[in-house]
Structure 1
Amino acid sequence: MLVVPVGGSGLAAGSSTIAKHLQPGITVIGVEPEDGADTLLSMRCGQRIALPEAPSTIADGLGHASPSPLTWAVNSRLLDGIVTVTDQDITTAMAFAFRHLKVVAEPSGACALAAVLAGRVPHESGTIGVVISGGGVDWPTFHRLISQPAHRKDPAHA
């Protein structure tokens, strides 16, 4: 299984294209912030749908009101599912990645890891690949997000 953030610039489309080419039986799950789930809504309706207003989420790179036509054409065919995560899930994943993997991930780039840590990815035993992308977050913002009291309990020790 491959778990990848879904935005509008093609990371999920490109990742699913390569993954399905190299491993035809692989399951690819896209992850969006729950307040910006334009692709999830579109998948449920079978066509591109626009959210009524611009999403409000810390994962600003994934906060699109509607899937772009090019990425929708690929994602609607190749993604096997979409799950959503909360902003709290995202900051917990950012803290986990920093503390355990020594990786600084911006909120959008931590969404796939957030879905796995929060138990939102349906899976049976097997290998799960998680795309963690982007370090485009300044230190004061990163520190504030990972230092929130709700994230002091580490999912690795839960």
Structure 2
Amino acid sequence: MAFSSGNHAQGLAYAAKLLKTPATIVMPTDAPRIKLENTERLGATLRLYDRHAESREEIAAAIAADTGATVVPSYDDADIIAGQGTCGYELVEQAGSLGCRPHQIMLPVGGGGLMAGVSTAVRALLPETEIFGVEPEKFDDHALSRQSGKRVKVAGTDATLCDSLMTPMPGELTWSINQTTVTDFISVSEDEVRHAVSFAFRYLKLVVEPGGAVALAALLSNKLDVTGKEVAIILSGGNIDPAIHSVCLEQYPDP
């Protein structure tokens, strides 16, 4: 079992289906419908909760205690981080096949698992490359934590399009890794994310969910000086409700 807003949930549900074992996923009631439907379609049992009034960790722990199920974390776990790190290895490998050595890499950061895995892999292969985590302004806990030198929890009372990045505090293990491997953290606005979603569809022919598009949003809004540099970004996730996607396209018809 796991708790997730949808991406990790679908991965676990798919793995459980392959292994012919039951899976229970604790998901927020406000998760995009497409994520709820896809997770359920893969055979998982959903336990919905109110992210503003209930603790998903406590719910998962209670279910695990009652059923004997194993909780598979979505980010704060060494094995999960190692698995997510293969993305960084593949990025460097594929860039190298094109004769590229990225000066900068930008990718989304929520709980910090993908960031911890990717940054660890990249640091081992391209130690001189700058690595930046990108998060929505309304959930900028990594940027605030970097500024204070310790993990900081944001209030998380404001909704954001980036449902997959609505983690109010960096993970304990992921933070200990990212403190030493990540160059800095960048925040993007809701409008910048909408623009990135539209740009990805219109010009890259990709359907990218808001949380997966934050690195592109940072690039398009000139959050970093990339003049004369080779830059790689990671777009993580294409689970976006059609209605939200349509709004992004309507609001940003031009590049």
- Normalising to structure 2: TM-score of the pair? 0.57
**Is contact 2:207-2:238 (8 Å) kept?**
yes
CA deviation vs aligned residue, 1:46-88 (integer Å, no higher than 9, x gap): 1101113444211111112111112111111111011110010
| Structure 1 match to 2:253 | 152
| Structure 1 match to 2:176 | 73
SS in 2 for 1:147: helix
**Is contact 1:83-1:120 (8 Å) kept?**
yes
The amino acid across from 2:226 in the alignment is: H
| Structure 1 match to 2:220 | 117
- Tell me, in whole angstroms, the C-alpha distance in 1 between the residues paired with 2:216 and 2:154: 25
- Tell me, in whole angstroms, the C-alpha distance in 1 between the residues paired with 2:114 and 2:190: 20
Instruction: Indicate yes or no: 2:233 matched with 1:130.
Output: yes
Structure 1 142/128 Cα, relative in aligned 2: closer, same or farther at 3 Å?
Answer: same
Q: Which moved more, 1:69-78 or 1:101-110?
A: 69-78
Q: Percent identity?
A: 35
Structure 1 111/84 Cα, relative in aligned 2: closer, same or farther at 3 Å?
Answer: same
**Is contact 1:5-1:108 (8 Å) kept?**
yes
1:105 to 192, 195, 208: 208
- Tell me, in whole angstroms, the C-alpha distance in 1 between the residues paired with 2:157 and 2:122: 31
**Is contact 2:110-2:167 (8 Å) kept?**
yes
| Structure 1 match to 2:131 | 28
| Structure 1 match to 2:110 | 7
Aligned-residue CA RMSD in angstroms?
A: 1.3
| Structure 2 match to 1:64 | 167
Task: Specify every segment of 5 or more residues in structure 1 that has no aligned partner in the other structure, as ranges.
Answer: none
| Structure 1 match to 2:144 | 41
Q: Which has the higher contact order (CA 8 A, sep 6+)?
A: 1
Instruction: Indicate yes or no: 2:185 matched with 1:94.
Output: no
Structure 1 25/101 Cα, relative in aligned 2: closer, same or farther at 3 Å?
Answer: same
Q: Which moved more, 1:88-97 or 1:50-59?
A: 50-59
- Tell me, in whole angstroms, the C-alpha distance in 1 between the residues paired with 2:145 and 2:112: 16
CA deviation vs aligned residue, 1:118-145 (integer Å, no higher than 9, x gap): 0002334210000011011122221122
- Tell me, in whole angstroms, the C-alpha distance in 2 between the residues paired with 1:105 and 1:14: 21
- Tell me, in whole angstroms, the C-alpha distance in 1 between the residues paired with 2:135 and 2:175: 14
The amino acid across from 1:152 in the alignment is: P
**Is contact 1:55-1:64 (8 Å) kept?**
no
- Normalising to structure 1: TM-score of the pair? 0.90
**Is contact 1:8-1:68 (8 Å) kept?**
yes
